[in-house]
Amino acid sequence: MPGGERQHPLVYDRVAYAYRGGEEAVRDVSIRLEEGKVVLITGPSGAGKTTVCRMANGLIPHEFKGRLAGSVTIAGRYDSRKLSVSALSKIVGVLSQDPETQLFNPTVEEEIVFGACNYGLPVETIRERTERLLELTRLKPHRHKNPHNLSGGQQQSCALASILAFDPLVLVLDEPTSNIDPIGSQQVLELVARLAREENRTTLLVEHKIEELADLVDEMIVLHEGEILHRGPVREVLEHVEYIDSVGLSVPQVTLLCAKLRSAGWPIERLPIGIEEAVEVLAPLIDREALSRAPQLPPRRVQHGEEEVVVEITGLSHVYRDGTRALSGVDLEIRRGEFVGVLGQNGSGKTTLVKHLNGLLKPTEGTVTVAGLDTRKATIAQMAQTVGYIFQNPDSQIFKMKVGDELAFGPQNVGLSEEEVAKRVREAAGDLEISHLLEKNPFFLSKGEKQRIAVAAVMAMKPDILVLDEPTTGQDFKRAREIMDLAVRLHAEGQTVIVITHDMNLAAEYCDRVVIMEGGRVLLDAPAREAFLARKKLEASSLRPPQVTVLGEALGYREAWLTVDEAVEMLGASGGV
């Protein structure tokens, strides 16, 4: 390939695209990817990020029908309209979201070689490259396993290796770490950045996790409602951090903190993008002595130490039918009105634990009592009225042709009268602000609306306990926050809330108490402020405290800051202008 063409292996020129029957998903987008550079695209849901990825190897326009304007040129000469997806993918390797549908071979090894074999690469090349990738992704011990039996992080690594195996000139990754715990996702992102440098591979990365990528990428593009809002080096773009935060993106906490302090008049010239930089910037501006003596932060909500125990788990062990021991001797008590976060890395047993709460799983050993009901003996109807379980994907439950009927399904199943069912539907729809959708067909609504319908359908059961399973997975920060804000509202009305997550910022911001799981056991059970200071135990479970907590510690505050606003308040009281 001539040198000039290599310089910009992927070029979007004034591209606009509208899916059939829809409005434009992207408008007037021009991106010239330079050879060997890593570019991050970020933006809230519906910003057009996935559409940009689909255009890179011709999935748009060949597999998705709609109107495409402008052009996408690959390797300086190939028009994406004229070549097939499989031909373009040889040059532009695209990895989509959701490893579940990206992995379809019976073993890790077959998964990795699949693309390379399709492109007819020589046997020796494939073997050498496969060995190297197995080494790099640390999947060598798992090469004969079914990819679906790997942890979330390993699955993402396997999917990534399956693209790298045929050595494409450009790599396009659409949220490659959406299902992984913090340390696992850091490893995958570092691997991507390292391979980009070592193999001079141009990489376009779509991610929400700006905090983890700030040091790893050369350029950052913020998409909003189909248009480029900001672009440039990360530091330059993050100068607009407050605005980016306002459109619903998760931004580095220390950058946002310093931007807020600067707005309040602190003399901060350059916004930091990492913790060390933030310490350097803030240390000269604060009175460390005063900060260390600053009063303790008050509890954010009413504490529930005196309330009755609603969940009592004693000696709980669970072994799946294939012999996998997921839980071992778990003891746990949750009181009415608590807001508890269950944290842990992929495969630590957190989902298995909470599925015992509504009887989806039964204990192999031990007992689980919820609101006085032994889950082994309680009926499905009793458990469904006691524990409301909100699943990650609303498409797992929606089946009625009218939103109102969907909301009535649960209350009808437990034999409530027609009047009571109608009342509950009205109330749940009102709480979730979907009253105007009651007559609509849920299949034609947006993902955010479907998510609210799924929550309302559970709330119509009026459960004592609400369980939220990974509310951040597959969602942007704004949408995850909407769900959590709703949980806070319900909590204020007396609801017990249990959230499973590996999003540390979200857990710190919302949960009062944190239960950390590791290897099927409870590693730590403590109030959030204590838990986020237990660095070693967090690391043992592949977790990390929020940036502001680490910053507070480094600046000499003796408790944990859990949110940016708390940090602003404490710093405001101890230094500044």
Partner 1 sequence: MAYEVAYQDRGTIIHRLDPRVKLLWWLSINVTLATWNDPLFLALLLGSVFAYGRVAGIPFAENARHLLPVLPFVAFVLVANIAFWRPPDPAAANLIGHLFGEGVPVLPAIPVYWETLIFSVGTLLRLLTLVLSALILIKTVSPSELALAVVKMGVPPEIGMALSMTIAYIPVVIGQLTAVMEAQQSRAWNTKVSNPIARFRAYVPIAIPTFFRSFQAAEAMASAMMSRGFGYDVDNRTELNPLRFRRRDWAAAGAFTAALVIGVSLGFAGIAKYTFTAGLLGL
Is residue 446 near partner 1 by the rule CB under 8 A? no
The whole-angstrom separation of Cα 533 and Cα 499 is: 20
Among 43, 115, 474, 575, the residue binding partner 1 under the rule CB under 8 A is: 115
- The CB-of-123 to partner 1 minimum distance in angstroms stands at 6
Among 50, 57, 253, 475, the residue binding partner 1 under the rule CB under 8 A is: 57
- The CB-of-400 to partner 1 minimum distance in angstroms stands at 8
Among 79, 283, 365, 443, the residue binding partner 1 under the rule CB under 8 A is: 443
- The CB-of-429 to partner 1 minimum distance in angstroms stands at 16
What residues have CB less than 8 Å from 227, skipping those under 6 apart? Answer: 26, 27, 28, 29, 48
Is residue 299 near partner 1 by the rule CB under 8 A? no
Q: Answer whether 272's CB lies under 8 Å from 500's CB.
A: no
Is residue 319 near partner 1 by the rule CB under 8 A? no
The whole-angstrom separation of Cα 346 and Cα 572 is: 38
The whole-angstrom separation of Cα 360 and Cα 141 is: 32
Beta-bridged to residue 68, according to DSSP, are 17
Q: DSSP readout, 195-243?
A: HHHHTT-EEEEE-S-HHHHTTT-SEEEEEETTEEEEEESHHHHGGGHHH
Helices then strands, counting H and E runs in the chain, come out as 26, 20
Residue number with CB closer to partner 1 (203 or 358): 358
Tell which residue, 186, 472, 181, 497, has the closest CA to residue 311: 497
Find where tokens 């057009």 sit.
Answer: 48
Is residue 358 near partner 1 by the rule CB under 8 A? yes
Among 52, 216, 343, 387, the residue binding partner 1 under the rule CB under 8 A is: 387
Is residue 410 near partner 1 by the rule CB under 8 A? yes
Is residue 471 near partner 1 by the rule CB under 8 A? no
What residues have CB less than 8 Å from 565, skipping those under 6 apart? Answer: none
Is residue 101 near partner 1 by the rule CB under 8 A? yes
Is residue 405 near partner 1 by the rule CB under 8 A? no
The whole-angstrom separation of Cα 405 and Cα 414 is: 15
Q: Answer whether 173's CB lies under 8 Å from 93's CB.
A: no
> What part of residues 256-295 is at the interface with partner 1 (CB under 8 A)?
none
- The CB-of-396 to partner 1 minimum distance in angstroms stands at 4
- The CB-of-81 to partner 1 minimum distance in angstroms stands at 16
End-to-end CA distance of the chain: 57
Mark 132-171 with x for binding to partner 1 (rule: CB under 8 A) and - for no binding: ------------x-x-xx------------xx--x-----
The whole-angstrom separation of Cα 218 and Cα 236 is: 11
Stretch that binds partner 1, among 6-14, 199-207, 245-253, 455-463 (CB under 8 A): 455-463
Number of residues that bind partner 1 (CB under 8 A): 70
- The CB-of-115 to partner 1 minimum distance in angstroms stands at 4
Q: Residue numbers of the site for partner 1 (CB under 8 A)?
A: 54, 57, 59, 63, 84-87, 89-90, 93-96, 98, 100-102, 104-107, 110, 113-123, 126-127, 144, 146, 148-149, 162-163, 166, 321-322, 355, 358, 360, 380-381, 384-385, 387-389, 391, 393, 395-399, 409-410, 413-414, 443, 457-458, 461
